[in-house]
């Protein structure tokens, strides 16, 4: 959304610019004017959708200019920011059609609520309807963390999606380290401890930002803190996350507890990750039995076989027969590329673009986003830099 800010206050400008940038879709301060008179004298050629007027140093005699400003941009929404009680100004504001009046200093929550109302009235849909995908390891070391973190990066960079990954491990969560060298400033338990503050900008401020479109909410690094997370907190976080991200990925690990169950309740697809070996299949069966006993319908459960090598004794059909679930994707065993990536904390797509693991991630992006062939070709071209790639 394009906005014009009328203010002399450079701090206010930076504050609104940064709060605006964190919104979905972003609020863009396209132009500024120092006063209402300046704004009337120098009209914007490209009409703003929103005009924000800082009224803190408006003289009473200037109050009437608001109405003229309203007539100059009849299609724009007007927001008035005031730092003291100015009855004359408020009357003029009502005549000018101002519906949003906020107190200075700016209370960020009030600003975002006001922006939500303006966006809704302007028909700018601020809300996404994100999908929640859970990755659950059938056995320790199955590859759920590697796949979920690297798939998040692939969704963001190859398909331009906005992606959030939440590490739900109560203990030893390490998802952020698989794709970043930043130390998480905040974790899931910090977010839960301040659950009343959770909105999109707050959530964004708690993430390890791997790329512009991909953030990771790290797990608590102390098991005592992990107790902070309660099932109803997860509901709130997922509700906000769905509205502001295209995909919310959950690295569930192996533990089935109240928190992970609540998270799985709100999930669109559950991906148990396993390797094609008997111990993994046994554990996968146990996991599916738990789901059945909890009344989950298994049709939104899709198996991912990791470190798959063709020609092994066990075949994918055997797995399907044993577990009664569809295998949606297989990841190749790519020891060198994956180990390098995991050890360096750099996504495999970034580190080894032409590796088998990277290709497999790109295929999974196509599968999940169901990109049309045309676009998906572009995706492969972007990844491998050739138009003639034949897959
Ligand atoms: N497709 C793969 N090819 C080779 N090695 C892999 C692959 N997937 C995972 N690994 C290795 O297996 C290890 C365990 O993976 P991880 O994602 O941490 O498992 P989980 O989260 O299921 O416990 C990682 O350190 C990684 O090096
Ligand atoms: Mg893990």
219 and 349 in a single domain? The answer is yes
Q: Which ligand is nearest to the CA of 306?
A: 1
pLDDT digits (tens, 9 = 90+) for 329-352: 999 999 999 999 999 999 999 999
Which CATH number is 332's domain given?
A: 3.40.50.300
User: In terms of domains, do 324 and 188 share one?
Assistant: yes
| Arithmetic mean of pLDDT, 296-311 | 90
CA of 173 to the centre of ligand 2 (A): 7
| CA 269 to ligand 1 center in whole angstroms | 21
Measured from the alpha carbon of residue 340, the closest ligand is 1
Q: How many domains does the chain have?
A: 2
Please give the pLDDT value at position 269: 94
What is the reported pTM?
Answer: 0.70
Atom nearest to 307 CA in ligand 1: 1
d(CA 77, CA 376): 39
Task: Examine the fold and report which residue of 122, 155, 174 is the final residue of a domain before the chain moves on.
Answer: 122
Q: How far is the CA of 342 from the centre of ligand 1 (A)?
A: 8
Any atom of ligand 1 within 6 Å of the Cβ of 146: yes
From atom 8 of ligand 1, which residue's Cα is the shortest distance away? Answer: 143
- Rounded distance, CA 260 to CA 96, Å? 51
| Among 122, 151, 171, residue at a domain's last position | 122
Query: CB–CB of 311/335 below 8 Å?
Result: no
* CATH number for the domain that contains residue 103: 3.40.50.2300
Residue 367 has pLDDT above 50, yes or no: yes
The pLDDT of residue 229 is 87
What's the pLDDT score for residue 60? 81
What is the 253 CA–ligand 2 centroid distance (Å)?
5
| pLDDT band, residue 6 (cuts 50/70/90) | very high
pLDDT in tens, 212-249: 999 999 998 777 776 788 999 998 899 889 989 999 99
- What integer pLDDT is reported at residue 11 of this predicted model? 96
* CA-nearest residue, atom 13 of ligand 1: 141
Q: What is the pLDDT of residues 37-63, one digit of tens each?
A: 999 999 988 889 999 999 998 888 888
Parallel, antiparallel or unpaired: strands 77-82 and 50-54? parallel
Same domain as 196, residue 261 = yes
**With a 6 A CB cut-off, is 335 part of the ligand 1 pocket?**
yes
* In the block, residue with structure tokens 């990841």: 331
Cβ count near 71 (within 10 Å)? 11
Express as a percent the part of the chain with pLDDT over 70: 93
- CB of 34 closer than 6 angstroms to any ligand 1 atom: no
Distance between CA atoms of residues 307 and 145, nearest Å = 14
Same domain? 159 vs 298: yes
The alpha carbon of 144 and the centre of ligand 1 are apart by a number of angstroms equal to 7
Ligand nearest to the CA of 360: 1
Is 157 found in the same domain as 27? no
> What is the structure's pLDDT at 391?
36
Question: Which residues are within 8 A (CB) of 188 and not within 5 positions of it... i.e. 6 or more apart?
Answer: 166, 167, 168, 173, 217, 218, 219, 220, 226, 229, 237
- Whether 307 lines ligand 1, by a CB cut-off of 6 Å, is yes
Indicate whether 100 and 173 sit together in one domain: no
Ligand nearest to the CA of 171: 2
Q: Are residues 135 and 106 in the same domain?
A: no
Same domain flag for 313 and 227: yes
Does the pLDDT value for residue 389 go beyond 50?
no
Ligand 1: centre distance to CA 299 (Å): 26
Distance between Cα 162 and ligand 1 center (Å): 24
**CA–CA dist 163, 179 (Å, integer):** 14
The whole-angstrom separation of Cα 249 and Cα 245 is: 10
Q: Does residue 287 have its Cβ closer than 6 Å to ligand 1?
A: no
- Per residue, the 3-state secondary structure of the chain, as one string, reads CEEEEECCCHHHHHHHHHHHHCCCCCCEEEEEECCHHHHHHCCCCCCCCEEEEECCCCCHHHCCHHHHHHHHCCCCEEEEEECCCCHHHHHHHHHCCCCEEEECCCCHHHHHHHHHHHHHHCCCCCCCCCEEEEEEECCCCCCHHHHHHHHHHHHHHHHCCCEEEEECCCCCCCHHHHHCCCCCCCEHHHHHHCHHHCCHHHHHHCCEEEECCEEEEECCCCHHHHCCCCHHHHHHHHHHHHHHCCEEEEEEECCCCHHHHHHHHCCCEEEEEEECCHHHHHHHHHHHHHHHHCCCCHHHECEEEEEECCCCCCCHHHHHHHHCCCEEEEEECCHHHHHHHHHHCCCHHHHCCCCHHHHHHHHHHHHHHCCCHHHHHHHHHHHHCCCCCCC
The residue range of the domain holding 31 is 2-122
| Ramachandran angles phi, psi of 328, nearest 5° | -90, -25
Shared-domain flag, residues 39 and 173: no
List the structure tokens of 237: 């976080």
Beta pairing class for 208-211 and 214-217: antiparallel
Mean of the pLDDT values across residues 167-189?
92
Query: Sorting pLDDT into bands at 50, 70 and 90, what band is 301?
Result: very high
Instruction: Indicate whether 64 and 206 sit together in one domain.
Output: no
The answer to whether residues 136 and 76 belong to one domain is: no
pLDDT at residue 387 greater than cutoff 70? no
- 51 lies in the same domain as 172: no
The mean pLDDT of the chain is 89
- In angstroms, the CA 20 to CA 385 distance is 35
Alpha carbons 273 and 143: distance in angstroms, whole number: 7
Q: pLDDT band at 374, cuts 50/70/90? A: very low
- pLDDT at position 21 is 83
Q: Which of 99, 122, 145 is the last residue of a domain?
A: 122
The angle at the Cα of 228, spanning 225 to 231, to the nearest 5 degrees, equals 140
Which segment of 47-51, 295-299, 381-385 scores lowest on mean pLDDT?
381-385
What is the C-alpha separation between 272 and 135, in angstroms, rounded?
A: 6
| Rounded alpha-carbon distances, angstroms, from residue 90 to 82, 84, 101, 120 | 10, 11, 9, 23
């Amino acid at each position: 959304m394009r906005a014009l800010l009328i203010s002399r206050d450079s701090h206010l400008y930076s504050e609104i610019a940064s709060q605006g940038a964190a919104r979905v879709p972003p609020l863009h301060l396209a132009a500024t004017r120092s006063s209402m008179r300046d704004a009337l004298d120098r009209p914007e050629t490209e009409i703003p959708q929103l005009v924000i007027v800082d009224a803190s140093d408006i003289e009473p005699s200037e109050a009437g200019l608001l109405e003229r400003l309203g007539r100059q941009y009849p299609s724009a929404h007007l927001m008035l920011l005031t730092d003291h009680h100015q009855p004359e100004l408020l009357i003029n504001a009502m005549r000018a059609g101002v519906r949003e009046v906020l107190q200075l200093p700016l209370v960020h929550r009030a600003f975002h609520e006001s922006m939500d109302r303006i966006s809704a009235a302007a028909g700018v849909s601020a809300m996404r309807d994100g999908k929640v995908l859970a990755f659950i390891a059938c056995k320790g070391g199955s590859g759920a963390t590697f796949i979920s973190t690297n798939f998040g990066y692939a969704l963001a960079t190859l398909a331009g999606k906005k992606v959030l990954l939440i590490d739900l491990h109560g203990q030893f969560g390490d998802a952020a380290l698989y794709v970043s060298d930043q130390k998480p400033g905040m974790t899931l338990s910090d977010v839960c401890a301040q659950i009343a503050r959770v909105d999109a900008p707050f959530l964004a401020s708690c993430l390890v930002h791997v790329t512009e479109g991909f953030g990771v909410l790290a797990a608590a690094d102390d098991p005592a803190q992990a107790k902070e997370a309660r099932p109803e907190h997860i509901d709130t976080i997922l509700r906000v996350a769905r509205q502001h991200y295209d995909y919310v990925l959950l690295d569930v690990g192996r533990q089935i507890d109240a928190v992970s169950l609540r998270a799985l309740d709100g999930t669109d697809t559950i991906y148990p990750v396993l390797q094609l070996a008997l111990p993994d299949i046994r554990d996968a069966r146990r996991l599916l039995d738990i789901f059945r006993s909890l009344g989950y319908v298994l049709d939104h459960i899709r198996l991912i076989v990791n470190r798959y090598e063709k020609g092994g004794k066990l075949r994918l059909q055997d797995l399907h027969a044993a577990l009664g679930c569809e295998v949606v994707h297989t990841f190749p065993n790519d020891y060198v590329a994956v180990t390098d990536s995991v050890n360096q904390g750099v996504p495999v797509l970034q580190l080894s673009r032409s590796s088998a693991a990277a290709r497999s991630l790109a295929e999974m992006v196509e599968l999940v986003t169901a990109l049309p062939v045309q676009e998906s070709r572009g995706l492969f071209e972007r990844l491998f830099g050739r138009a003639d790639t034949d897959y």
